[in-house]
Amino acid sequence: MGCCPSSLESAGTKWALPALKPGLSSPISKTEVDGSIKLLFLGPAECGKSTFLKQLRLIHTSGFSDSERHSYVPKIRRYIISSICTFGDKAVALNEELEADLSIVKKNNGSIWDEDDAEYEIGLVRVGGAVVRLWANASFRQAYDDHCAANPGFESFAFFGDRSAAIFAADFAPSDEDILRCRVKTSGVVTQSFSYSGMNFELYDVCGQKSERKKWIHCFEDVDVVLFVAALSDYDVNLRMRDSVELFDQIINNRWFEDSTVILFLNKTDVFKNKLINCPFGECFPDYNGPETFECTSQFLLKKFEAANKDPTKRIFSHFTCATDTKSVRFILNTVMQRIITDYLEHLGLQ
Please state the pTM of the whole predicted model: 0.81
227, β-bridge pairs? 41, 263
> End-to-end alpha-carbon separation of the chain, Å?
52
How far is 149 from 146, CA to CA, in rounded Å?
5
Q: What is the chain's Cα-based Rg?
A: 22
pLDDT of residue 207: 66
Q: Is 55 a catalytic residue?
A: no
Active-site position among 126, 163, 183, 242: 183
How far is 181 from 323, CA to CA, in rounded Å?
9
How far is 319 from 334, CA to CA, in rounded Å?
12
Q: Is 205 a catalytic residue?
A: yes
How far is 141 from 202, CA to CA, in rounded Å?
42
How far is 300 from 263, CA to CA, in rounded Å?
18
Active-site position among 46, 155, 224, 246: 46
**pLDDT tens across the length of the chain (351 residues):** 334 333 333 333 333 333 333 333 333 344 443 568 889 989 888 898 889 989 988 988 888 999 999 999 999 999 999 999 999 999 999 999 999 999 999 887 666 787 887 788 888 999 999 999 999 999 999 999 998 877 777 888 999 999 999 999 999 999 999 999 998 777 777 888 888 888 889 888 876 555 555 555 556 778 889 999 999 999 987 678 999 999 999 999 988 888 888 999 999 999 999 889 988 999 999 999 999 999 999 999 999 999 999 999 998 999 999 999 999 999 998 889 888 888 877 766 655
Active-site position among 86, 192, 209, 299: 209
Q: Is 343 a catalytic residue?
A: no
Candidates 193, 258, 264; CA nearest to 17 is 258
Q: Is 46 a catalytic residue?
A: yes
Sequence spans of domains, the chain: 30-47+208-347, 66-181
153-171 as b/e, with b when 16 or more CB fall inside 10 Å? ebbbbeebbebbeebbeee
Identical topology for domains 30-47+208-347 and 66-181: no
Candidates 117, 110, 119, 127; CA nearest to 165 is 127
pLDDT of residue 172: 95
Active-site position among 205, 222, 236, 343: 205
pLDDT of residue 350: 56
User: What are residue 242's phi and psi, to 5 degrees?
Assistant: -60, -45
55-78 as b/e, with b when 16 or more CB fall inside 10 Å? bbbbbbeeebeeeebeebbeebbe
Q: Does residue 222 contact residue 37 with C-beta atoms inside 8 Å? A: no
How far is 27 from 219, CA to CA, in rounded Å?
12
CATH topology of domain 66-181: GI Alpha 1, domain 2-like (1.10.400)
How far is 48 from 322, CA to CA, in rounded Å?
9
Q: Does residue 178 contact residue 163 with C-beta atoms inside 8 Å? A: yes
pLDDT of residue 221: 73
pLDDT of residue 278: 84
Q: CATH number of the domain at 30-47+208-347, please?
A: 3.40.50.300
**Residue 190 CB-density burial (10 A; 0-12 exposed, 13-18 middle, 19+ buried):** middle
pLDDT of residue 321: 96
Q: Is 283 a catalytic residue?
A: no
